[in-house]
A and B are shown apart, each in its own frame.
Chain A
Amino acid sequence: MGRVWRGALLPILVLLTWEVAARSGLLLYDSLSYPSAIFRAGLGAIADGSILLATWQTCQAALLGLAIGTFAGVLLGSVLGLWSSMARMAGPTFDALRAIPAVALMPLALLMFGWGLSMEACTVAYACTWPVLIATWAAVRGVETRLLEVADVLEMGFGERLRKIVLPAAFARINVGIRIALGVALVVAVTVEIAVNPRGLGYSLVLAQQSLKADLMYAQILWLALIGFLLNAALRTVEAPGTTARPR
């Protein structure tokens, strides 16, 4: 109990000083606002639904991108994991492609799709592909050779081998990659919205800043931090059963 209280001490202290300093005119209201105003602005945004709509738009793009990126990552990662000669050949090229920051692709995606859901999902997908690809690659390489020999004996094709043997055996470790990608997806989606795409939480953040509604801006940032925090916490709780789902 003492630990929780000490952890809450710093935020409470900061909020109190902030409130007092802002109200007494020591701080510039324009850029700092004050905690009670921020709280009110946040409640207002929830009440009129604007923040919920923006959250939905952001999540939609993030999840769509995650789905595409996961599909591409699992497919490419399986290919690299099943044929080591392929991995030797394609590895360096993938390393080079991976080094391009996903955000640098925003202009390209914008050029191709224009503003909207598809350019955002596309950028998110690119960013999400890599963690999934790497996890799948490692997981598939770690699949027991005996299982692969069974697949050989049964003369399974690539698709069947992937569906019936490789992916179930590698699922737990691929899952780790997907969870990492989920965090990446949210960050990239918000970044794309802040930089170019006029939709979602990122854009409403920029809009609040440009219309000098500092209180609304901070409320949205806190909301965003809360979403990230809850997402992280949720991922951590599913981690334990995910890794022990199968007997070893």
Chain B
Amino acid sequence: MRHLANGLPPLLFAAALLGIWYLVAEFRLVSPIFLPAPERAFGDLAARFADGTIWEPIGSTVLRMVLGWFLASLVGIALGAAIGLTPLARDLLEPTLEFLRPLPASAMIPVAILFFGLSEQMAVSVIAFGSIWPVLMSSIFGFSHVRVRLQEVSALLGLGRMEFLRKIAIPSAMPDILAGMRSGLAVSLILAVVTEMQASLPGLGRDIFLAQRSFRSTELYAGLIMLGVLGVLINHGLHIAERRLLRWRPQRD
């Protein structure tokens, strides 16, 4: 019962916003070309769920995003381990990476187009370039902050390099790596949408773009709502996954 009472005010607030939207659209305060009535936007979304046509763009956007993110995570963790654990690699690589990091990932789109054309590879490579930074930065931090005591233990036990990595370094850097991967996924959704618009690859981003080009604002808003929902779901899903993966660790907050 208490739970219900706590959940009510947020719902009321959201409902109030929707109500304002409804009234603005109803009294034509803003032209319906720019702002369709909420029931039409949500109706369009519901219709696309009902006939199943929404799944295809969602599927391709999510697939592209996950592929780029996965690639970025692999490379990011490997590079992060190298830089975090060996001072030589840090000296060699870090200045270059520091120079490249502030570069907006979307600036790599023209380069990727030159190399791969308007293709899936181009999208995945741009997504990977953009979402590697959070993973890389937090992996470097995680691997370079393995407790000295643990390093001494592994030296005492005579663990080899691989064993040290697998049994001590990776588990100890895991919380940082996962946090970085979570921010990386958010970036990859953004870049998936941008590359779709730019290269006209099938997906939610292109659908929104095409809806705008042909002034179908209902579809545009339906797509925006869908992207928002997708963003919330991804973030929540990762929170849950993170908690499960780190169950072995005492909670500190």
Contact = CB atoms under 8 A, between A and B. Distances in A.
Nearest to B18: A93
A91 B10 contact: yes
B93 interface: yes
B98 to A, nearest CB: 7
Interface residues of A, number: 56
A190 B104 contact: yes
B201 interface: no
A107 B92 contact: no
A229 B231 contact: no
Interface in B63-111: 88, 91-96, 98-111
Interface stretch (A38-46, A94-102, A172-180): A94-102
Given A85-B9, A99-B232, A101-B193, 16 more contacts: A7-B92, A7-B94, A7-B95, A8-B95, A89-B9, A92-B13, A99-B228, A99-B235, A104-B227, A106-B197, A107-B212, A194-B109, A202-B107, A217-B111, A224-B107, A232-B101
A7 B102 contact: no
Interface stretch (A17-25, A153-161, A205-213): A205-213
A11 interface: yes
Contacts of B217: 111
Contacts of B189: 101
Nearest to A220: B107
Given A88-B10, A103-B190, A190-B106, A7 B227 contact: no
Contacts of B211: 107
A187 B98 CA distance: 16
Given A101-B190, A107-B208, A111-B220, A195 B9 contact: no
Interface residues of B, number: 58
* Interface SS majority for chain B: helix
Contacts of A231: 102
24 contacts: A6-B88, A7-B92, A7-B94, A9-B92, A31-B115, A93-B17, A96-B14, A97-B228, A101-B231, A103-B194, A107-B208, A183-B102, A190-B107, A194-B109, A202-B107, A206-B110, A209-B111, A221-B107, A221-B111, A225-B99, A228-B103, A229-B98, A231-B102, A232-B102
B55 interface: no
A150 to B, nearest CB: 29
B217 to A, nearest CB: 7
Interface string B167-210: 00000000000000000000001100110011000001100110
Contacts of A202: 106-107
